[in-house]
Structure 1
Amino acid sequence: MPTNQPPKTNKPVSESLYGQLLSQMSLDSLFFIRSRLQSPWSIDYPPIKNCMIFHRVMEGEASVETSNEHYVLKRGDFTLLPLGKGHILSDGSGTEPVPLFDLPINIAPGRYENLHFGGNGGKCSLICGAVTFTHPLTKRLIKSLPSSITVHSTSSQVSHTIKTISELIADEVTNLNPGTTGATSKLADLLVITAIRDHLDKASTDTPTWLGALKDPRITKAIELVHESPSRHWSIAELAQAVGMSRTGFAVQFKQLVGNSPIDYLTEWRMSLAYSAIKQTNKSIIAIALDFGYQSESSFTRAFKKVIGRTPGEIRRIKALT
């Protein structure tokens, strides 16, 4: 008889599920700032909705202060604020902060900015940036993350990867090489995803959020089955049987960890894939509907709008304008 208590595991989330979830993170670069600062200096970053903000110290050190955190970044350290939370970035001297958008920023072509600011004291160099997200699946993942994720400069592979990507971004922003906009945007996506991946690997098994579902092997298996066959007309009973749980126990556990019922999650995943297909291909709406288990365009459109907030036709028209 199946039990309702999953075995404990400290293993990282499966790479296949990682790839599926992270590949659907639809990010768009908002801005990049190559900052060269000298003490005393202090910058007030405002909160930015649906945005992740990051900083990496290239030289010197910097202090980050939010409403509930205060920590120092040393050379090579990287921090990500996934919820776009307002914060003070400073040299820690207590200098009155200047609002970010009041600073004497030198705006370069594209989304790139160079900042020289402060006094005549100690030097600090940073690469800073912001990426936006509007995809519903991305929003769900981001809401499960802590208010900040920091990767310290060590000999780890993750730290080395972040160092390499940051230096490439800094070079692109400084030199404005041909193709810089596209290259830097992809690098920023990779930078953010690397930090999130590292956090997910280290997240506690007992995390009482959606991330916790990714550490429960049976709920993870159910999610993987949905991802592998999104067009299949799954029932709760079928999924429960496939992962060795009772129908009721599975439904309760899934809802508790994921925040949605299994069937609602199936619909959300289908619409996530459909959203990408609409934006990235020229397939007809009815063809995409059929790909994801819908027999009519009208039923697909209703489900799509409920999850995404717009109709497939509206997304296709927006794509045509960009």
Structure 2
Amino acid sequence: MTKMPEVLTQTSPGRSGDMLSDLLESMHVTGMVLFRAEFREPWCVTSVDSDQMAAMLALGSSRVIPFHIIGSGSCRIELPEREPMRLNSGDAVLLPYGGVHRLSGGDATAPVHIGQLLPQLPWAGMPLVEHGGAGGATSVICGFIRCDELLFHPVLRHLPDVLHITPDTTPADHWLATTIRHTVTEASKPQPGWRSMLPRLTELMFVEILRKHMQGLSADEVGWFAAYNDAVVGSALKLLHAAPMEDWSLESLARGVGVSRTVLSERFNHFLDQPPMQYLAHWRLQLAAKHLKSSELPIKIIADHAKYESEAAFSRAFKRRFGVPPGDWRRRQAAG
């Protein structure tokens, strides 16, 4: 039997049972604070969409997930076909699909495109945008979470188009509130090491926001995060993520969860719109994409590890899933 390369055995996820970390690592999530803004009444700005932002910052095939943190003051955020939301000091808002949106104060005024207010690239440091009149001030920290575009949709496609977070005083929200405060302080008064500190803080905030979203889901929700909370599907997911290269079958997985094959299939289809073995095949491809980016192993070795009988079969499955062959994927990642 061919011995599995050490890089694959050491980096196989899931042994800790932490499925959320598995997903975020497979998506290559990184964070960035882009600029801070001081707005004074009256003011109103319109954003760029995520594709424009990715192009502007030369981020290649990345999904850009904008966020805003209200450092002080208050404002409104408006998205098409949604009621405006009020944002107060200490709030954070995340837009998973990066749609065009509008931030404004309390007084009506004509909107200005944010691109007109930003300095020309490249930036020597973090820009400060100042805009508006002479009225009350609102401080906003603007940035984004970046992940690979091709891996975003299958994992996070059931998130709402906006996540508005107001940390409360419960112990569960302590970390989130603290992370938001640290991000505001570090962005407002940069100290030595801020370029290293701010990305870590924004990534921590992203994880905390996803945790809070998971904990607040109702029983009638669907998607990966709701599936995690389900007794049947959540148990099955833990088994699959703990040992993704195991020779699983529907029967062995159902036996591990303690339910019938019919019940397991029905629950998977309800939450994830796919049967368990298809989910496993997709997850193995996602792990393969991670190895293609993070290692120089031959595609044949990665195909073997992902349980494909041949490199050709792996390439066909990879292209079906992500739209490009694995070799092209690897070259794009290296170039980007």
Per the TM alignment, residue 112 of structure 1 is displaced from its structure 2 partner at its CA by: 3.8
> What is the letter of the counterpart of residue 64 of structure 2?
C
For 2:159 and 2:139, how far apart are their aligned partners in 1?
A: 27
Partner of 1:118 in structure 2? 132
Aligned to 1:133, the other structure's residue is in SS state strand
Q: Which amino acid aligns with 1:39?
A: E
Moved more, 190-199 or 242-251: 242-251
Q: 1: distance between equivalents of 2:120 and 2:185?
A: 16
Are 1:24 and 1:138, in contact at CA under 8 Å, matched by a contact in 2?
A: no
How far does residue 309 in structure 1 lie from its aligned partner after superposition? 2.2
User: Aligned ranges for residues 55-94 of structure 1 at < 5 Å?
Assistant: 55-67=68-80, 68-94=82-108
Give the structure 1 partner of residue 316 of structure 2. Answer: 302
Equivalent residues in 2 for 1:106-145 (5 A)? Answer: 109=123, 112-145=126-159
Distance (whole Å) between structure 1 residues aligned to residue 126 and residue 332 of structure 2: 25
Which digits, 9 at most, give the CA deviation of each residue in 1:24-61, with x for residues without a partner?
33234576121111111111124325432211111111
Q: Say if 1:106 and 1:115, in contact at 8 Å, map to a contact too.
A: no
User: Which residue identity does 1:66 align to in structure 2?
Assistant: L
Residue of structure 2 aligned with 1:187, choices 170, 187, 201: 201
Cα distance in 2, alignment partners of residues 200 and 209 from structure 1: 10
Structure 2 gap segments, 5+ residues each: 1-15, 52-62
Deviation at 1:159, TM superposition (A): 4.6
Map 1:1-322; keep pairs closer than 5 Å.
16-29=18-31, 32-49=34-51, 50-67=63-80, 68-105=82-119, 109=123, 112-157=126-171, 159-170=173-184, 173=187, 181=195, 183-322=197-336
Q: 1:304 to 1:76 in 2, by over 3 A?
A: same
Matched AA of 2:205: L
Q: Aligned pair in 2 of structure 1 residues 124, 149: CA closer, same or farther (>3 Å)?
A: same
Judging changes above 3 Å, is the alpha-carbon distance between structure 1 residues 285 and 296 closer, same or farther for their aligned structure 2 residues?
A: same
Distance in 1 between residues matched to 2:279 and 2:262, nearest whole Å:
17
1:157 Cα deviation (Å)?
4.7
Deviations 1:199-236, CA, capped at 9 Å, x for gaps: 11121122133433222211111122221222223222
**Residue type of the alignment partner of 2:229:** K
Give, in whole Å, the separation in 1 of the partners of 2:193 and 2:323.
33
Q: Which moved more, 1:267-276 or 1:40-49?
A: 40-49
Q: SS at 1:26's partner residue?
A: coil
After superposition, the Cα gap between the structure-2 partners of 1:316 and 1:107, relative to the gap in structure 1 and judged at 3 Å, is closer
The answer as to whether partners of 1:104 and 1:116 remain within 8 angstroms in 2 is no
Q: Given the superposition, is the C-alpha separation of residues 36 and 57 from structure 1 closer, same or farther in structure 2, using an over 3 Å criterion?
A: same
Structure 1 residues 163-200: Cα deviation after superposition (integer angstroms, max 9, x where no partner): 44345545655666676555433332222221111111
Deviates more, 1:51-60 or 1:290-299: 290-299
Counterpart residue identity of residue 123, structure 1:
A
Percent identity (aligned): 29
TM-score (norm 2): 0.81
For the aligned residue pairs, the C-alpha RMSD in angstroms reads: 2.8
Partner-residue secondary structure (3-state), 1:214: helix
Cα shift at 1:81? 1.7
Aligned to 1:62, the other structure's residue is in SS state: strand
Q: Is the 8 A contact 1:278 1:285 kept in 2?
A: yes
How many Å separate the matches in 2 of 1:272 and 1:104? 36
| Equivalent pair of 2:27/2:148 in contact (CA under 8 Å) | no
TM-aligned CA distance change 1:123 to 1:159, over 3 Å: farther
Shift of 1:304: 1.9
- Residues 141 and 187 of structure 2 are in contact (CA less than 8 Å); yes or no, is this contact kept in structure 1? no
CA offsets, 1:247-305, max 9 Å, x none?
23322321221112212111111011111111112222222222222242222222222
d(CA) in 2 for partners of 1:172 and 1:318?
A: 33
User: Residue 141 of structure 1: CA displacement?
Assistant: 3.5
Which region of structure 1 is more displaced relative to structure 2, 233-242 or 254-263?
233-242
Ranges in structure 1 where 5+ consecutive residues have no aligned partner: 1-13
Shift of 1:73: 1.3
Question: TM-score normalized by structure 1?
Answer: 0.84
Preserved contact between residue 79 and residue 150 of structure 1 (Cα < 8 Å): yes
